[in-house]
Amino acid sequence: MQERYDPAAVESAAQNWWAENRSFEVREDPDREKFYCLSMFPYPSGRLHIGHVRNYTIGDVIARFQRMQGRNVLQPIGWDAFGLPAENAALKNQVPPGRWTRENIAYMKGQLQALGFAYDWSRELATCDPGYYRWEQWLFTRLLAKGLVYRKSSIVNWDPVDNTVLANEQVIEGRGWRSGALVEQREIPQWFLKISDYADELLNDLDKLQEWPEAVRTMQRNWIGRSEGVEVDFDLATGGTPLRIYTTRPDTIFGATFMAVAVEHPLALEISRNDPRIAEFCAECRKGGASAAELETAEKTGMPLGVEAINPLSGERIPVYVANFVLMSYGTGAIMSVPAHDERDHAFAVKYGLPIRQVIAPADGSEINVQAQPWTSKQDMVTVNSGAYSGLSFAEAFDRIADGFEAQGRGRRRVNFRLRDWGVSRQRYWGCPIPVIYCDSCGPVPVPEADLPVVLPEDVSVTGGASPLQAMQDWVHVPCPGCGEPARRETDTFDTFFESSWYYARFACPDQDASMLDSRASYWTPVDQYVGGIEHAILHLLYARFFHKLMRDEGLVDSDEPFRRLLTQGMVLADCFYRTDADGGQAWYSPLEVESRRDAQGRISGGVLLSDGQPVNYGGMSKMSKSRNNGIDPQVMIDRYGADTVRLFIMFAAPPEQTLEFSESGVEGAYRFLKRLWKQVHDHVQVGSVDDLNPDGLSVPQQDLRRKAHETLHKAGDDIGRRATFNTAIAAAMELLNAIQKFAAGEAGGRAVVQEALEIIVLILAPITPHVGHALWQALGRPGAVVDQAWPAVDESALARESVELVVQVNGKLRGRISVSASAQRDQVLAAALAEPNVQRFVDGRELRKQIVVPGKLVNLVV
């Protein structure tokens, strides 16, 4: 064994060994418990960032730990390879997106391998490969046949610079998230997946996901947004089609003082035709962002349409407005407004001087002032000012009013979901072609199964405008599969969430070229542990859950949910340093180029730029970002200290769900620990390794060290396996190393205890620092490779304390303490208690009527 710890040599040796022995290639084995560990696959942006490294290290530690528990562990990796950045890079560097993507994959694969992740590389996949995306094209045509896919013209957010449709989440303050251009509203035909058909199941099955963070389940629940209400028809005073509204509060109907419709509502459109002021108002509203979140915060505006509606219960006539806060895509696009009991209606009524009338009140009689503030409670309330419906609770009023409308045919109970159908069309080039052909006589025709995949042409030049597919005449013009007449291919591609919605299942059978999935998918799924960023808490996880159910209904998997346990890792933060230049702008310097200065309390107060020796200001810790130049390229750390140090630092610096504060001194600390461990093993094996530990013949200090080793093992197993607090397991291993260093091994018995304790440290750390583990296991003279070792069993007898302390009571009062051997019998304990001088004083020769011994705790003598 080398005396000096040389990470580069150690890491390549271990990695070669794993590759030669195909250590991480797995096969289905019905006789063994399987464990499928998956980290969210990366977008091949070019280089791993530190968030990736954290994500993959956490996943790898869990996978390796589960392997040591004897499970048949699958840990695959692949590439989420379609998406906009490839097109932008193509535009900038004049390389086709496919080439750029594959070059990035090659580089990043090397980075992942250098980090020693235990992936089954034989299953690697990239979603831009036709062998992958053909199956989502196939599924799409199946769903089309089943009626789960439809085409609909809809208003979209149009980014005039990127020439693409944006999701509502991609519109920030009315501008495109990437281009910053003012977003326009346009109507174009799009393909939709009917996720709404699964809304109830997606909601109810959240209850099965007990091992997901509660916060994520809540976000999903809110996103699905189930609501129970009533649709009611309000007649218009002028006659014609009644105005149908959706309300969850029919109990407040007597408080409706106006109505409001969306700017796209048929009534608003009809009146716009003759009223240019209304038309202009509607057009103006459509320009802004259409996201619900934005409308929530935007100033509420509207205009009276000049028509009145008749309240079906009170007969009152109330004005109808068109208003920007009513969404056409929810409910019926029209509402009754009750300003006394709804926030938005209240703000609107105050602004336009509309009446505010209280119709519900606190059941306990306390006063409220709805002119000043709406009161919105459903609980502990009673209806007031509501004619024959006064004096009722929410549930009573809801039911009576709903029953009445249903009997009259004027209304009906209805469940609505906030969740919208998933628009999957993207007007982008670098994505999976939507397998549809448009024919003038047959309409849209799905590409027949035999003609799949529709391969995306990769030899293109990207111009920045419309998708290059539109200009590829040879590709676009094809005969109609139905009638054979000239027809055109769809040039839109799928939303890239399509690919990431089912990759986890494909990893079970990536080589299957006759079907989307095969029986191996039922063996491996659901994923037992999924690890990824909280930014995917809603859309990615929801779409993957939806796809899992779609695939289940195709008979492709046999479970209801794709991910059994979910861990969402925290962000990585780093210090930021800056200088303010003459015109007030800030220049940011990488923390790696700055030597920080600390104040008396040890807090960073500033720093010096290494290149010019001049001071820089400290800007605090913040999320790593380009704008603050505080991103740390993990490759720099790997090159400097090795993969094990980076892995150890990441797992030690914080529990996985919390933010991690990057600091180079922390990385150095991890490196020093590994050097210390290396030296300890080196010094130990210099004398020779030992493997004949005799637990019975140990001295007290030897027993103490052995107990510490097994206590550490016990704690680490619980911390890693159950609590997922890897940092405390590492801290315990560090303490054990300290104890070994303080221990004077001396002769054979002591050296055997040290040998065992060192082996325990190596095994505990094996999932975290697997390369060092590989080398030290060999150095300790153990057979086999550490990667194939089982997690060691705790020796319960080693945990027993040499001596235990008991309290002694006489007639229930504390009279003394004794220390006895942990294995002492009842007689010996009693004898020791009676020999205690103070106890003797209180017993004082009297007859012992009762003697109670609670082992390990107390003795009570009754005299």
Q: Which residues bind ligand ANZ (CB under 6 A)?
A: 227, 229, 246-249, 252, 326-327, 330-331, 333, 335-336, 338, 341-342, 416
Find the shortest distance in angstroms from Cβ 665 to ligand ANZ. Answer: 50
Determine if 436 is a binding residue for Zn ion (CB under 5 A).
no
Strands across the sheet containing 443-446: 443-446, 436-439, 486-489, 477-479
Q: Which is nearer to Zn ion, 306 or 443 (by Cβ)?
A: 443
Of 155 and 182, the one with the shorter C-beta distance to ligand ANZ is 155
> Which part of the chain contacts Zn ion (CB under 5 A), choosing from 137-145, 428-436, 472-480, 582-590?
472-480
* CA atoms of 287 and 277, how far apart (whole Å): 16
Closest CA to 817 of 827, 829, 801: 829
Give the residue with the Cβ less far from Zn ion, 25 or 440. Answer: 440
Closest CB to Zn ion among residues 110, 448 = 448
Judged by beta carbon distances under 5 to 8 A according to partner kind, the member of Zn ion, ligand ANZ, none in contact with residue 442 is Zn ion
Which does residue 335 bind out of ligand ANZ, Zn ion, none, counting CB within 5 to 8 angstroms by kind? Answer: ligand ANZ
In the complex, what is the shortest distance from the CB of residue 333 to ligand ANZ, in angstroms, rounded to a whole number? 5
Q: How far is the CB of 546 from ligand ANZ (least distance, A)?
A: 21
CA angle 178-180-185, nearest 5°? 100
> Cα separation of 145 and 215, whole Å?
37
Q: Which amino acid is at 229?
A: G
Stretch that binds Zn ion, among 220-228, 399-407, 479-487, 543-551 (CB under 5 A): 479-487
**Residue 333 touches which member of ligand ANZ, Zn ion, none, C-beta under 5-8 Å by kind:** ligand ANZ
Rounded to the nearest whole angstrom, what is the least distance from the CB of residue 232 to ligand ANZ in the complex? 9
d(CA 308, CA 310): 7
| Candidates 220-228, 415-423, 481-489, 840-848; binding stretch for Zn ion (CB under 5 A) | 481-489
| Of 326 and 505, CB closest to ligand ANZ | 326
766 binds, options Zn ion, ligand ANZ, none, Cβ within 5 to 8 A by partner type: none
Residue 333 or 510: the one with the smaller Cβ distance to ligand ANZ is 333
397/437 with CB nearer ligand ANZ = 397
Radius of gyration of the chain measured on its C-alpha atoms: 35
Q: Does 480 bind Zn ion (CB under 5 A)?
A: yes
Nearest Cα neighbor of 224 from 569, 547, 530, 543 is 543
CB of 490 to Zn ion, least distance (A): 14
We find the least distance from the C-beta atom of residue 467 to Zn ion, in angstroms, to be 24
The Cα 376–Cα 378 span in angstroms is 7
Tell me the closest approach of the beta carbon of residue 473 to Zn ion, in angstroms.
19
Classified as helix, coil or strand, 558 is coil
Toward ligand ANZ, which CB reaches closer, 336 or 567?
336
352 binds, among ligand ANZ, Zn ion, none (CB under 5 to 8 A by kind): none
The enclosing H or E element of 100 equals: helix 97-114
Work out how close the CB of 237 gets to ligand ANZ at its nearest, in angstroms, rounded to a whole number: 20
The three-class DSSP label of residue 226 is strand
Nearer residue to ligand ANZ within complex by CB, 542 or 557: 542
CB 451, min distance to Zn ion, A: 14
User: Would you say 473 and 413 are in contact if contact means Cβ atoms under 8 Å apart?
Assistant: no
Residue 483's binding partner among ligand ANZ, Zn ion, none (Cβ under 5 to 8 angstroms by kind) is Zn ion
Q: How far is the CB of 339 from ligand ANZ (least distance, A)?
A: 9
Q: How far is the CB of 856 from ligand ANZ (least distance, A)?
A: 58
> From the list ligand ANZ, Zn ion, none, which binds 482 (C-beta under 5 to 8 Å, kind-based)?
Zn ion
Residue 177 binds which of ligand ANZ, Zn ion, none (CB < 5-8 A, kind-dependent)? none
Task: Give the CA distances from residue 27 to residues 33, 120, 124, 339, in Å, rounded to whole numbers and listed in that order.
Answer: 12, 10, 15, 63
Q: Among ligand ANZ, Zn ion, none, what does residue 346 contact (CB within 5–8 Å per kind)? A: none
Least distance to ligand ANZ, CB of residue 334, Å:
7
- Nearer Cβ to ligand ANZ (82/254): 254
Choices 18-26, 67-75, 419-427, 482-490 (CB under 5 A): range interacting with Zn ion: 482-490
Give the shortest CB-338-to-ligand ANZ separation in angstroms.
Answer: 4
Q: Are 335 and 267 in contact (CB under 8 A)?
A: no
Nearer to ligand ANZ by Cβ, of 302 and 468: the residue is 302
What distance in Å separates the CA atoms of residue 740 and residue 743, rounded to the nearest whole number?
A: 5
Best CA proximity match to 475, nearest among 462, 456, 494: 456
- Whose Cβ is closer to Zn ion: residue 439's or residue 674's? 439
Strand partners, 190: 152
Question: Of residues 328-367, which lie at the interface with Zn ion (CB under 5 A)?
Answer: none
* CA–CA distance, 487 with 228 (Å, rounded to integer): 45
For residue 200, what are its two tokens?
Answer: 């109830």
Backbone angles phi, psi at 551, to 5 degrees: -70, -35
> How distant is the alpha carbon of residue 655 from its chain centre?
15
Give the residue with the Cβ less far from Zn ion, 160 or 479. 479
User: Considering the complex, what minimum distance in angstroms separates the CB of residue 375 from ligand ANZ?
Assistant: 9
Nearer to ligand ANZ, 249 or 426 (CB): 249
Nearest approach, Cβ of residue 261 and ligand ANZ (Å): 9
Question: Closer CB to Zn ion, residue 438 or residue 842?
Answer: 438
Q: Closest CB to ligand ANZ among 349 and 462?
A: 349
| 1 contact choice in Zn ion, ligand ANZ, none (CB below 5 to 8 Å, kind-dependent) | none
Verify binding: residue 483, Zn ion, rule CB under 5 A.
yes
Distance of CA 231 to the CA centre of its chain: 36
Strands (E), 453-603: 477-479, 486-489, 493-494, 529-533, 566-569, 572-580, 586-589, 594-598
Decide which of ligand ANZ, Zn ion, none touches 439; Cβ closer than 5 to 8 Å per partner kind.
Zn ion
Residues 576, 579, 580, 585, CA torsion sign: negative
DSSP run (H or E) holding 766: none
Residue 272 in 3-state DSSP?
helix
3-class SS letters over 791-846:
CCCCCHHHHCCCEEEEEEEECCEEEEEEEEECCCCHHHHHHHHHHCHHHHHHHCCC
Bond prior to 837 in cis (omega within 30° of 0): no
The full DSSP string for 385-449 is S-GGGTT--HHHHHHHHHHHHHHHTSEEEEEEESPPPEE-EE--SSSPBP-EEEETTTEEEEPPG
- Cα separation, 248 vs 348, in Å, equals 19
Nearer to Zn ion, 352 or 438 (CB): 438
Identify residue 452 by its one-letter amino acid code: L
Gap between the Cα atoms of 243 and 256, Å rounded: 14
Among ligand ANZ, Zn ion, none, residue 338 binds (CB under 5-8 Å by kind): ligand ANZ
State in angstroms the smallest separation of the CB of 446 from Zn ion: 12
Nearest approach, Cβ of residue 384 and ligand ANZ (Å) = 13
* 439 is a contact residue toward Zn ion (CB under 5 A): yes
Cβ atoms of 46 and 39 within 8 Å: the answer is no
CB 483 within 8 A of CB 442: yes
Q: Is 447 in the site for Zn ion (CB under 5 A)?
A: no
C-alpha distances in angstroms, 540 versus 303, 366, 498?
39, 46, 9
d(CA 318, CA 311): 7
Residue 330 binding: pick among Zn ion, ligand ANZ, none (C-beta 5-8 Å cut-off by kind): ligand ANZ
* Residue 331's binding partner out of ligand ANZ, Zn ion, none, with CB under 5 to 8 Å set by partner kind: ligand ANZ
Q: Please, are residues 324 and 330 in contact by the beta-carbon 8 Å criterion?
A: no
Region at 91 (left for phi over 0; alpha for psi -120 to 50; beta for the rest): alpha
Token pair belonging to 233 = 């028809």
Q: Answer whether 418's CB lies under 8 Å from 329's CB.
A: no
Give the residues lining the site for Zn ion (CB under 5 A). 439, 441-442, 480, 482-483
